[in-house]
Amino acid sequence: MPRDISTDIPQTLAALEQVLGDRLSRSKPDLENHGRSESYFPLTLPHAVAYPTTTAEVSHIARICSEYRCPLVGWGTGTSVEGHALAIEGGVVLDFSKMAAIRSFYLEDMCVTVEPGLTREALNAELRDSGLFFPVDPGANASLGGMAMTRASGTTAVRYGTMRDNVLGMEVVLADGRVIETGSRARKSSAGYDMTALMVGSEGTLGLCTGLTLRLHGQPESVAAAVCSFSNLHAAVAAVQDTIQMGLPMARIEFVDSATAAAVNDYAGVSFPLTPHLLVEFHGTESGVAEQAERFGDIIADHGATGFEWSTRPEDRTALWTMRYNALYAIKAMRPGARALVTDVCVPISQLARAVEETQADLARASIPAPILGHVGDGNFHAILLVDPTQPAEFEEAKRLSDAMTNRALALGGTSTGEHGVGMGKLGFMEREHGDAWAIMGALKDTLDPLGILNPGKLVPPKSRLTS
């Protein structure tokens, strides 16, 4: 069990007030805003919320928390769904919203260095006139530091990759306050361990990201979006497999099931057929995009698709993507007052049809609403399980369904999470997925954070901070 840290808190907060003044908050609204998540986890209050403005301040905060063995948890925008940023042992939440600057543009190198609190939408707004853009799109307007630390991906990963592929280097504050730089603006390196890759996806358990250098991409000359419907789930997913295996360069290829289509119709006042749909996007030259759309049309025709239409006009593309953009909000609106257990898995593309069909069969027998959608172009899909928070039996059913979905993915050679990360929600599957390698992750944690103060209770094997 974690040690009782309550006696350290007054000293910690007194020392932090000397550094931060009124940027150390203990107000009830602030604590509550940083004690809840986007998913089903209960309210979990920290003792205080710190708002640093510089790397030097983050370093000083880490040294103080290390001295008093006080838990320290990083916070971006709070959009993660597996409880990553909840201070489950109390302590201090470090909110990076005041560190949201662009430090340097390197347009000729097609990269940019930013602070962790900057959001992806704010970055792309600044890049609009440069001819470049940052492609990783997890749906929410998440902070770039949070996206790096959870190794986020999203709708465009099938073409542009995940945060793993788009973070060139990081500035990281370690648990003892040391500041290290990982990576560089160079596109490759053979110089020792890949410390950037180690930090990306570490969920704040190894260090706190205070800066990151991101790979940028050229804005495509032409963008086309398309939507089509299928009579059944198998045909839709089989069309995805054929599209990917034929090497068609999709920028996005998204799946929504019939329940999601119905929810979006009610929510947005549209009239999509109540069948499974694929939504796709093509990036490239005008001629290239037209050729890709034509080839895709041929593929889906072989699987009985109907209603195929595509457009390059921005307003038409927005209309075509209404279903996917509104999906989560529409699904939540299906059951007002419900909490959403949002879970994801990822499987090899050859196993996608089986994984989705067997998952849908499980969910069809459930007593709770549970639509499926996802970034199926890279084998990643989600279930949104809506539970009445006053009915514990519904939550237990949702957990059983989520666990079955995860166990199936692992049995098919996949992973327990393709983009949501581990946090607390997938912690119970780490040993099965990684075996002895999970213990090695714990050993790395012990080396860089021997007191266990950084985001305790997440990602790595549980360990008492009394042993330090």
Domains 222-326 and 335-424 agree in fold: yes
The predicted-structure confidence for 207-249, as pLDDT tens digits, reads as follows 999 999 999 999 999 999 989 999 998 999 999 989 988 889 8
Q: Is 400 helix (H, G, I), strand (E, B) or coil?
A: helix
Say what angle helices 9-20 and 55-67 make with each other, to 10 degrees. Answer: 160
The pLDDT of residue 468 is: 38
pLDDT score recorded for residue 7: 47
Asked if 146 and 99 count as a contact pair (C-beta separation under 8 A), the reply is: no
Which pLDDT value is given to residue 157?
92
Report the alpha-carbon distance of residue 58 to residue 55 in Å, rounded. 5
Return the SS3 of 74. Answer: strand
In whole angstroms, what is the distance from residue 359 CA to residue 394 CA?
Answer: 18
Cα–Cα distance between 210 and 78 in angstroms, integer? Answer: 17
pLDDT tens, position by position, 99-112? 999 999 999 999 99
Q: How far is Cα 415 from Cα 445, in angstroms, rounded to an integer? A: 22
Between CA 293 and CA 278 the distance in angstroms is 13
Yes or no: say if 341 and 395 are a contact pair by the CB < 8 Å rule. yes
* H-state helical runs in 191-326: 195-199, 233-245, 258-268, 286-301, 314-320, 322-325
CB atoms within 10 A of CB 25: 19
Task: Say how far apart CA 253 and CA 224 lie, in whole Å.
Answer: 12
222-326 is classed CATH 3.65.10.10:
no
Q: Regarding beta strands 92-95 and 48-50, do their DSSP bridges make them parallel or antiparallel, or are they unpaired?
A: parallel
Instruction: Tell me what pLDDT residue 384 has.
Output: 95
| SS3 annotation, 267-284 | HHCCCCCCCCEEEEEEEE
Nearest Cα neighbor of 421 from 119, 162, 44 is 162
For the entire predicted model, the pTM comes to 0.93
The alpha carbon of 443 is separated from its chain's Cα centroid by a whole number of angstroms, namely 25
Q: Is 364 helix (H, G, I), strand (E, B) or coil?
A: helix
Element (H or E) spanning 138, and its range?
A: none
For 389, phi then psi, to 5°, come to -65, -15
In whole angstroms, give the CA distance from residue 428 to residue 403: 9
CA-to-CA distance for 332 and 335, rounded, in angstroms? 6
Task: Tell me which DSSP letter residue 423 carries.
Answer: T
Q: Residues of the chain whose pLDDT is less than 70?
A: 1-7, 464-468
- Residue 307, number of CB atoms within 10 A of its CB: 12
State the fold for domain 6-97+442-467.
3.30.43
Nearest residue to 88 via CA among 192, 199, 205: 205
**47-78 residues labelled b (16+ CB within 10 A) or e (exposed):** bbbbbbbebebbbbbbbbbbebbbbbbbbbbb
User: What are the strands, taking DSSP E only, across 109-166?
Assistant: 111-114, 132-133
How far is Cα 36 from Cα 126, in angstroms, rounded to an integer? 30
Question: In degrees rounded to 5, what are phi and psi of residue 74?
Answer: -75, 150
Place of tokens 């060139």: 168
pLDDT in the model for residue 264: 92
Query: In the chain, what's the furthest Cα-to-Cα distance?
Result: 68
Fold entry, domain 102-218:
3.30.465
Residue for token digits 């001295």? 67
Overall fold of domain 335-424: Alpha-Beta Plaits (3.30.70)
| Residues 6 or more apart whose Cβ sits within 8 Å of residue 249 | 159, 282, 283, 284, 292
Do the beta carbons of residue 347 and residue 379 sit within 8 Å? yes
Amino acid at 233: L
> Could you give the CA distance from residue 239 to residue 276 in angstroms, rounded to a whole number?
12
Q: Name the phi and psi angles at 428, rounded to 5.
A: -70, -10
Going from N- to C-terminal start, the domains of the chain cover: 6-97+442-467, 102-218, 222-326, 335-424
> Residues with Cβ < 8 Å from 41, sequence gap 6 or more?
83, 86, 424, 425
Please give the pLDDT value at position 171.
Answer: 98
In the structure encoding, which two tokens stand for residue 292, read together? 């890709």
The owner of tokens 């999906």 is 327
- Residue appearing with tokens 């549980």: 462
